[in-house]
Amino acid sequence: MAQVAAQTMDVKSIKSLAESPALSSVPSAYAFNMNPNDEADPNDPEFAIPIVDMSLLTSESPDQRSKIIQDLIKICQEWGFFIAINHGVPESLMKAMIDACHGFFSLPDEEKEEFKSGNDVLEMFKYGTSYNLALDKVLLWRDFFKVRVHPEFYSLYKPACFSEVSMEFSKRTREVALEIIRAISESLGLEPNYIHDAMNMDRGIQMLAANYYPPCPQPEHAIGIPHHTDHGLVTLLIQNEMNGLQVEHNGKWLTVNGPANGFFVNLADQMQILTNGKYKSVMHRATVNNKATRISIAVPHGPSVDTIIAPAPELLEKEGQAPKYIGMNYKEYIQLQQSSKNYMKSTFDHILA
Ligand code: OGA
Ligand code: NI
């Protein structure tokens, strides 16, 4: 323990470590064993990732809309994950956002450290490496930053283009997320605005969370982000040309491979709570590779901090069910998820198995 702590003190960024010429193996503080037997065969039809054509949701034809809403029921129950295409966000904007994040991570460590802050997930912004250096038993092969972009918009002030690009990207991505949330409401037999209104989305929390995974000499002996579920309602994720996201489906890990201009969409914990477990918050993780740096940008969309999330009474009544979860406000939930006690439980018990 003392040894790990001593090593972690020296880690400024995984980027700097990965760039050191002497690095030929994964340092012991990062050692994580992947089990190749857990991987899904992407050619098996059972693991064909659902695709949702967003243009059908906004289509004039009510038949097309109701077909895609029907499909969503199955997708949300069986996968909790899909790829959204034809969503209207220009590919050039997605690329500009990735480039702006790349620009940030390419700054010298000292400059990036200006953006370090406390450990509260609701900080305006936060930069770091691994997950939480004070808690991590195994270090993660990633650097990250998070910026809160809704209800108030905050931004990094470096690189210079960041603010303008992230404002437009955040706004456009939010429109897609809200459209998805409307469709999910409808798929549950509720009014399209039910979730939006019940979750006070007009004051909802939205983050821009970027991950930087440099090449790793032994990718099967390290992890970018170990398995977890996200807090919030839905997370939209984009990446550069490198794959690495894996979702758990039917007990296997499936590497997500999809159209470059699609959004990877996962349902998150508050959606599972709201639907009393009908829709699932999908378990996922990020693997690393030995070829090129991977950058991903996750955009979680959640309720307002003070919203109490509990199974929706209208659904319980419709399905004749008792609630499976107690109500808790969003801020308390996030704090619980990120507390040292729960962090070890939800994440590290499994990593060390
Ligand atoms: C996350 C996450 C996966 C990825 O940031 O919560 O799950 O592919 N990222 O980077
Ligand atoms: Ni995640």
- Ligand 1 pocket, 298 CB below 6 A? yes
- State the pLDDT at residue 10: 67
**What average pLDDT does range 104-108 have in this prediction?**
97
Q: DSSP 3-state helix, strand, coil percentages of the chain (rounded to 5)?
A: 40, 20, 40
Question: Which of 17-21, 303-307, 346-350 has maximum average pLDDT?
Answer: 303-307
- Nearest partner of 224 among 252, 241, 244, 251, judged by Cα: 244
pLDDT at 251 over 80: yes
- Ligand 1 pocket, 284 CB below 6 A? yes
- Ligand 1 pocket, 210 CB below 6 A? no
Evaluate whether residue 75 is within a structural domain: no
Alpha carbons 295 and 102: distance in angstroms, whole number: 7
- State the pLDDT at residue 304: 98
pLDDT tens digits along 311-341: 999 999 999 999 999 998 999 888 888 876 6
Evaluate whether residue 263 is within a structural domain: yes
Instruction: Tell me, in angstroms, the distance from the centre of ligand 2 to residue 55's CA.
Output: 26
Evaluate whether residue 68 is within a structural domain: no
- Ligand 1 pocket, 170 CB below 6 A? no
Evaluate whether residue 16 is within a structural domain: no
- State the pLDDT at residue 352: 28
Residue 289, SS3?
A: coil
pLDDT tens digits along 57-103: 988 888 999 999 999 999 999 999 999 999 999 999 999 999 999 99
pLDDT at 165 over 80: yes
pLDDT tens digits along 122-149: 789 999 999 887 778 899 999 999 999 9
Ligand 1 atom nearest to 142, measured from its CA: 10
- Ligand 1 pocket, 232 CB below 6 A? no
pLDDT at 350 over 50: no
pLDDT at 119 over 70: no
Token output for 266: 């996962």
pLDDT at 159 over 90: yes
pLDDT tens digits along 173-208: 999 999 999 999 999 999 999 999 999 999 999 999
Evaluate whether residue 234 is within a structural domain: yes
- State the pLDDT at residue 341: 64
Domain with residue 300: its CATH number is 2.60.120.330
Domain that holds residue 112: 82-350
- State the pLDDT at residue 9: 47
Instruction: Tell me, in angstroms, the distance from the centre of ligand 1 to residue 217's CA.
Output: 21
Alpha carbons 346 and 47: distance in angstroms, whole number: 25
Evaluate whether residue 32 is within a structural domain: no
- State the pLDDT at residue 11: 78
**Residue 202 Cα distances to 147, 303, 331, angstroms:** 18, 9, 16
pTM higher than 0.75: yes
Instruction: Tell me, in angstroms, the distance from the centre of ligand 1 to residue 225's CA.
Output: 7
Instruction: Tell me, in angstroms, the distance from the centre of ligand 2 to residue 282's CA.
Output: 9
pLDDT at 346 over 90: no
Q: Please state, rounded to an integer, the average pLDDT across all residues of the chain.
A: 91
Evaluate whether residue 69 is within a structural domain: no
- State the pLDDT at residue 120: 72
- State the pLDDT at residue 135: 77
Token output for 246: 């894996």
Evaluate whether residue 25 is within a structural domain: no
Q: Per the structure, how many domains does the chain have?
A: 1
**What average pLDDT does range 15-44 have in this prediction?**
93
Alpha carbons 135 and 8: distance in angstroms, whole number: 10
